[in-house]
Structure 1
Amino acid sequence: MKQTGRTLDDILGSIGKRSPDIPGSTASILAGLMGLSMAKMAILVSNHPINDPCLRAALEKIDRLSCDLLQAAEQDRSNFLNYMEVLRERCAVEGKQADVSAVREAESGATAQPLDAARLIVEALEHLNEKSSLVDHSVASDLHAGAAILNASFTGIMMAVKINLEPDRMADMRQHTAGKRAELAGRRDTAFAALKRAAAQQGFQY
């Protein structure tokens, strides 16, 4: 079942158990979607002409990012479930070790998707920074709260990536993605610092 077809109770129950069927990376992506929705609400509620092209473009990008993040969450969960299946099938069968190449392939898939989701989260933070001036003071707290959730989402995703990359068998992927991970972290830091300054001008502190 798609995540959008599940109740919040079901999602929370699927995360908070010993053997979750929603991994931490997917949970972080779903949290980011909630943050982005809060920011969208703040822009919608602000006082703009209904046909303002700047407003329309801002909302269209949020909708695109939301759609892409939801697809990323679905694929991330699918990759995680595949990884768990590989481990179940190949690990400790009559004392034999797992097929390292199969595990590595599944692990790679479970790492690449969160990295792409992290990129989308960074794009969202950059977009909110660019559009924060569109938001009225009365709802600015919602935009910045949404941005704070997106920032936490990025952190959770990157923690999941880090733990996936720690095994020795992932050394080449760890090296291959080092530049991308550093770039995303730098862009996140820049966008979030600017959002914090914008919030301070409105009298809010992260």
Structure 2
Amino acid sequence: MDLLDHTVNELLDLIGRSSPQVSGSTAALLTSEFGIAMCKMALLVSSGDSAGNEITVVLLDSISRDISAAATRDRASVLALIETMKLNEPRDVVRPALIEATRQPLLACHLLVEALELLARYAADVDPSVASDYYAGTMVISTGFKAVIMAVDANLKDDRMGDLRDLISVDRAGLSQRHGFASNSLKRGALNIGFDW
């Protein structure tokens, strides 16, 4: 079952328990999909009957589907890691699970940054009547990125990841830089119309 096939209450129950069935990174990815939906709505309202933002909306839909799939993979990798750790598996068994539980959120961060970069490019096309929804949606996605990258950082602190830290840190630094550029652009756009982003 796709995570988004659950009701909101079911998702909250899967997250808010002592043995969560949905990790923090997965929850952040799902939340980011809500942010994308808010931005999509603002773009559709802004274009009215014209097809002005049609390509942007199609791209957002594609990214959203990819994020949904990434959330499913992230969840599976975290649950597998938790299971191997519960069983006190030896280092050589835990390490591949830890690598996968680091790789999946890192890959998902690429999608979140891609969404923010796209939304930063088209922010000027948004009608002022729905600009607050648009910028609020981008803030949700940006916060989702920060939460997911935190999961990557937490996994990299594990002593079993020492040799991979440098390799992953290059990709992570690039993602953070791209996130910063897109966020700064969105912040300037929001400030120009009187919103504190």
2:8 aligns to what? 8
Most deviating of 143-152 and 76-85: 76-85
- Pick one of 70, 77, 85 that aligns with 1:72: 70
Whole-angstrom distance in 1 between the partners of 2:118 and 2:175:
14
**Secondary structure of residue in 1 paired with 2:186:** helix
User: What is the one-letter code of the residue matched to 2:21?
Assistant: D
Whole-angstrom distance in 1 between the partners of 2:5 and 2:120:
31
2:147 aligns to what? 156
Whole-angstrom distance in 2 between the partners of 1:113 and 1:201:
36
User: What is the one-letter code of the residue matched to 1:76?
Assistant: D
Q: Percent identity?
A: 39
Whole-angstrom distance in 2 between the partners of 1:50 and 1:78:
41
Whole-angstrom distance in 2 between the partners of 1:10 and 1:84:
21
Whole-angstrom distance in 1 between the partners of 2:47 and 2:77:
42
Q: Which runs of 5+ in 2 are unaligned?
A: none
**Secondary structure of residue in 2 paired with 1:50:** coil
1:192 aligns to what? 183
Q: Deviations along 1:99-158, whole A, 9 cap, x unmatched? A: 101101001001101001111110111001001111100000001000100110011001
Give runs of aligned pairs for residues 51-66 of structure 1, distance below 5 A: 51-52=51-52, 55-66=53-64
Whole-angstrom distance in 2 between the partners of 1:51 and 1:135:
13
Whole-angstrom distance in 1 between the partners of 2:166 and 2:95:
15
Give runs of aligned pairs for residues 1-206 of structure 1, distance below 5 A: 1-52=1-52, 55-89=53-87, 91=88, 98-206=89-197
| RMSD across aligned positions (CA) | 1.0
Whole-angstrom distance in 2 between the partners of 1:58 and 1:49:
15
Q: CA shift at 1:42, angstroms? A: 0.4
Most deviating of 166-175 and 115-124: 166-175
User: What is the one-letter code of the residue matched to 1:12?
Assistant: L
Whole-angstrom distance in 1 between the partners of 2:152 and 2:32:
16
In the alignment of these two chains, the number of paired residues is 197
Q: CA shift at 1:4, angstroms? A: 1.6
Q: Which runs of 5+ in 1 are unaligned?
A: 92-97
1:94 aligns to what? none
Q: CA shift at 1:48, angstroms? A: 4.2
Whole-angstrom distance in 2 between the partners of 1:175 and 1:102:
22
Q: CA shift at 1:51, angstroms? A: 3.0
User: What is the one-letter code of the residue matched to 1:28?
Assistant: A
Whole-angstrom distance in 2 between the partners of 1:168 and 1:75:
24
Whole-angstrom distance in 1 between the partners of 2:47 and 2:152:
40
Whole-angstrom distance in 2 between the partners of 1:26 and 1:47:
32
User: What's the TM-score, normalizing by structure 1?
Assistant: 0.93
